[in-house]
Structure 1
Amino acid sequence: MEEKLSTEEEAIKKDYIFFDYKRLAGFFGGFVFFFFLLFSMIYIIAC
């Protein structure tokens, strides 16, 4: 019974870490997209 509980806890931990990575990747992707948009706008204004 105790072993089952520990494995369930481990699975929850794995899911949480995976979700955290997904959230981080989404934030990083948004930042890169925003930076690219800003850079293209500056390029259009400059040229």
Structure 2
Amino acid sequence: MREVTCPACGAIVEAETDDELLEGARAHTWDAHRYKIPDEHVLDAAGDQQA
């Protein structure tokens, strides 16, 4: 399970794969904050968690 926390609002995005995590993080940051988050920011925030 991969997970990131939105630094702006504290929302948690969870996913089984990197692709799903990126999709979820993109959807959250756009819908909630009108921000296009770079993929590398999401993957860096997820760190070394198991995919």
Report the TM-score range of the alignment, normalised by the length of the smaller protein.
Answer: 0.3 to 0.5
TM-score, with length taken from structure 2: 0.31
TM-score, with length taken from structure 1: 0.34
The structure with the greater share of residues assigned to strand is 2
Q: Which has the higher contact order (CA 8 A, sep 6+)?
A: 2
The structure with the greater share of residues assigned to helix is 1
